[in-house]
Structures are given as C-alpha cells and as structure tokens.
Amino acid sequence: MYEAVHAHPDGDATVARYARTAASYGFDGVVVRNHGDARTEYDAGRIREETGIDVVRGMEIRAEDPSQASGYVGNYRGDHTLLLVHGGTNAMNRFAVEQDRVDVLAHPMRDDGDVNHVLAKAAVENGVRLEFDLSRVCRLSGGGRVQALRGLTKLAELVDQFDVPYVVSVDPTSHLHLRAPRELAAVGETIGLGAKRIREGLAEWGRLADRNRERQSESFIEPGVRRGRYEEVDR
C-alpha cells in the first residue's frame, strides 16, 4: 500500500523522513506529490535501500486555468511516473478527467469542486483515478469535516455507479499526518466508505506506478507490444 505525500518545501518533512515513518507504519511505498512550484530533490535508490520504501516520482499540477495546466502536463509527463492534477474547481476537475495523460485527479470535492455523472464517465474513459481525500476527515472537526464527508459520500456513490477507478490518500503535509493503513481502514469503515475501499485505494497508487514505469521503460512500444529478447539467427 502506498501513500501520496507533500515533501519539503511543499510540506514539513523530507522524503527520507516520510519513507522512514511510512516503513514503520506498514506502507510499501510513497508517492511524492509536490506541487509544481515547490519541487524537491531526493535520492530514491538510497531511500529504498535504507527503508525498503519504494519512492515514486510524481507531481501535482496546480494551475490557474485548463490551458496553463495543459502546458504543464505536456512539460512534466515525460519525466514523472505519476501526474496528478490539483482539483477543487469545476474547470480543473473537467480538464483532468478529459486528459488521458493525467493519472489522478486530486481532491476533486475540495473548495468549490464537484463531480457529476459526466465527469465520472469521462474519468472511466480516460483512466483518470479520482482521489478520496481523507485529509479533512482526519484533521478537521465540525463544519469543515461535515462538508468533506458529504463530498466523499457523493464521490463514493458515483464511483460505485460507474465503476470509476480511484485512489485514497490523507494528503499529508507532514510525517505527523501519516496514518497507518489499518487506521485509515477503520476510519473508512466508520464514515461509511468501507475498509475494503480504503485498502484498494491505497494499493491503487502502487499498481498505477508499476503500470507507468512499464510504459515509460525502454522496451515498451505500445500496449501489448514490447521489445523482447530474440535469438540470434545464423545466416
């Protein structure tokens, strides 16, 4: 299971610290999802060696409008394993689900954002994962949390109806915000999302990273076609 994290300077912990905490909590990997204007440097190989945590290079694209975001997607798709779009407005949500080069639409229900059946279908068509964002469930109480729960319930209904792919994250900006998978499953069970959905959503990050790494590897040509090893033919 994987967690997607904001590392320093986007958050209050380095990638190495996240990895160490994640390892002790029972995660298999972390996705670095720093916003495009606060990127970070780290040595993924070294961190993997020391903690056993798979560090996935990702980016969360935060843009004013879809045209700007489109430029960022083109720029960063090549050298990032996972590309997320910072959702939360209807325009950006719509943009993200209509781009098959985008992997994840992050926190679509935050702020003024909303998701409807049109966006859900588009997400299925383009393979864009919708994110169940548990940050406000775990770190807020009262009105803010009620709104967040309402959004999650609506998202869950759409995801079930159209079989939309999804991911789950607590969107941590500090290693102290991380919560272990079993704790998140218990929270999911309590708020009516179900423990199974939470586990699936946490595991989906890893599957997505594996798929993209394969696609970006040298031997990949197109789905179903790859450069293999062939016997030398004597002539």
Partner 1 sequence: MKHLPKHLRPRYRYLAVELASTPDASLSRRSFQRELWYAAGNLLGDPGSADADCTVVRFEFSDGAGEAIVRARHGHADAARAALACVASVDGHDLGVVVRGISGTIRACEEKYLGRPRQPSAQRTVAFEGGEVPAVERNGVLDVRVDDRYVGATNTDFE
The residues binding partner 1 (CB under 8 A) are: 8, 12-14, 16-18, 20-21, 24-25, 43, 46-47, 50, 137-142, 145, 174-180, 182-184, 186-187, 189-191
CB < 8 Å & 24+ apart, contacts of 69-77: 69/95, 69/96, 70/95, 70/99, 72/36, 73/99, 73/101, 73/102, 76/36, 77/101
Our CB check for partner 1 shows the closer of 191 and 203 to be 191
For the bound state, the minimum distance from the C-beta of residue 168 to partner 1, rounded and expressed in Å, comes to 13
For the bound state, the minimum distance from the C-beta of residue 21 to partner 1, rounded and expressed in Å, comes to 7
Distance set, CA 147 to CA 27, 109, 129, 136, 143 (Å): 29, 9, 21, 9, 6
Our CB check for partner 1 shows the closer of 139 and 154 to be 139
Q: Do 107 and 173 meet the contact criterion of CB atoms below 8 Å apart?
A: no
On the 0-12 / 13-18 / 19+ scale of CB atoms within 10 A, 115 is buried
Our CB check for partner 1 shows the closer of 70 and 174 to be 174
Q: Do 190 and 145 meet the contact criterion of CB atoms below 8 Å apart?
A: no
Our CB check for partner 1 shows the closer of 143 and 223 to be 143
For the bound state, the minimum distance from the C-beta of residue 109 to partner 1, rounded and expressed in Å, comes to 19
For the bound state, the minimum distance from the C-beta of residue 10 to partner 1, rounded and expressed in Å, comes to 11
User: First vs last Cα of the chain: how many Å apart?
Assistant: 50
Our CB check for partner 1 shows the closer of 155 and 178 to be 178
For the bound state, the minimum distance from the C-beta of residue 147 to partner 1, rounded and expressed in Å, comes to 14
For the bound state, the minimum distance from the C-beta of residue 140 to partner 1, rounded and expressed in Å, comes to 8
Our CB check for partner 1 shows the closer of 118 and 146 to be 146
d(CA 177, CA 93) in angstroms, rounded, equals 25
